[in-house]
């Protein structure tokens, strides 16, 4: 039986992908801080899902992550779906620091630990590290400075790991999944009428396909790939004039 560990599975994208993989017959290890939510997800597939309360910013995050891998007897795929970010034109420092703690430091702890796990164990079966990053990494976004910067960090770290795995002959593939807006708790407090918001029903199968096909980078969806392709072409002197109304 194939095994996937999903960090950030108590709600939103991570929760949806976890139940989809369990329905497909995979063993699924899920983690996040809200254990009561994780338990209700396990109750849907008690034989296939195990859970672990885990805060990616806590000193014991890696230890708990490794314990969860043991609980499902291995890990073919890690999906890192934990994340936070805020509409923050006021630059509230606590929120910026929180985004960095989860999306940069927490991400690094878990993804680094997954790479080392595969370096030691995945000689025969290919492992995979997949991360839900975001299209937001393409440029600095004024109203979400720390969030957009943290997503760019994730893109770069994953690119580096892909190169390192090649250099060190580590049998692990890297998948960077970059969705546009998805209707989840993450954007529920945003005061704007956000454009091109996608449902979980629409996004989840596209994410799962990207992981299973071993895509290196998947922008979800093609409309967002076009929009962000255009963003890349905008020079800094023009970019600063573009943005959502405050």
Ligand X SMILES: NC(=O)c1ccc[n+]([C@@H]2O[C@H](COP(=O)([O-])OP(=O)(O)OC[C@H]3O[C@@H](n4cnc5c(N)ncnc54)[C@H](OP(=O)(O)O)[C@@H]3O)[C@@H](O)[C@H]2O)c1
Residues contributing to the site for ligand X (CB under 6 A): 8-14, 32-34, 54-57, 81-85, 102, 106, 132, 134, 179, 181-182, 184-187
Q: What are phi and psi of 235, to 5 degrees?
A: -70, 155
Shortest reach from residue 152's CB to ligand X, in Å: 12
Q: Whats the size of the chain, residue-wise?
A: 246
Q: Count of CB atoms within 10 A of residue 51's CB? A: 23
Shortest reach from residue 136's CB to ligand X, in Å: 7
Cβ nearer to ligand X, comparing 54 with 170:
54
Cβ nearer to ligand X, comparing 80 with 118:
80
Cβ nearer to ligand X, comparing 184 with 228:
184
13-46 in b/e form (b: 16+ CB < 10 A) is: bbbbbbbbbbeeebbbbbbbeeeebbeebbeebe
CA distance 115 to 118: 5
Q: Residue ranges of the alpha helices (H) in 72-214?
A: 93-100, 107-121, 145-168, 200-212
Cβ nearer to ligand X, comparing 35 with 122:
35
In 33-143, DSSP assigns E strands to 49-53, 77-80, 127-132
Shortest reach from residue 166's CB to ligand X, in Å: 26
Shortest reach from residue 34's CB to ligand X, in Å: 3
125-136 in b/e form (b: 16+ CB < 10 A) is: eebbbbbbbbbb
Shortest reach from residue 46's CB to ligand X, in Å: 20
Q: Count of CB atoms within 10 A of residue 169's CB? A: 8
Cβ nearer to ligand X, comparing 170 with 224:
224
Shortest reach from residue 230's CB to ligand X, in Å: 18
Cβ nearer to ligand X, comparing 112 with 171:
112
């Amino acid at each position: 039986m194939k095994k996937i560990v999903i960090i950030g599975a108590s709600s939103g994208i991570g929760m949806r992908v976890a139940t989809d993989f369990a329905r497909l017959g995979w063993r699924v290890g899920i983690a996040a801080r809200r254990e009561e939510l994780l338990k209700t997800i396990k109750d849907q597939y008690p034989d296939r899902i195990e859970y672990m309360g885990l805060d990616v910013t806590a000193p014991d995050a890696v230890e708990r992550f490794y314990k969860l891998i043991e609980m499902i007897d291995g890990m073919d795929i890690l999906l890192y779906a934990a994340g936070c970010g805020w509409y923050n034109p006021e630059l509230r420092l606590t929120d910026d620091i929180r985004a960095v703690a989860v999306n940069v430091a927490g991400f690094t702890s878990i993804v680094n630990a997954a790479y080392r796990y595969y370096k030691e164990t995945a000689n025969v079966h290919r492992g995979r590290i997949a991360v839900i990053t975001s299209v937001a990494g393409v440029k600095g976004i004024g109203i979400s400075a720390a969030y957009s910067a943290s997503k760019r960090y994730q893109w770069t770290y994953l690119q580096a790991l892909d190169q390192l795995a090649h250099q060190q002959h580590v049998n692990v593939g890297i998948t960077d999944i970059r969705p546009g807006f998805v209707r989840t708790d993450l954007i529920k407090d945003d005061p704007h009428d956000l454009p091109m918001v996608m449902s979980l029903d629409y996004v989840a199968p596209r994410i799962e396909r990207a992981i299973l096909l071993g895509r290196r980078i998947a922008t979800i969806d093609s409309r967002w790939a076009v929009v962000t392709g255009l963003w890349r072409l905008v020079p800094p002197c023009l970019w600063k004039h573009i943005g959502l109304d405050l």
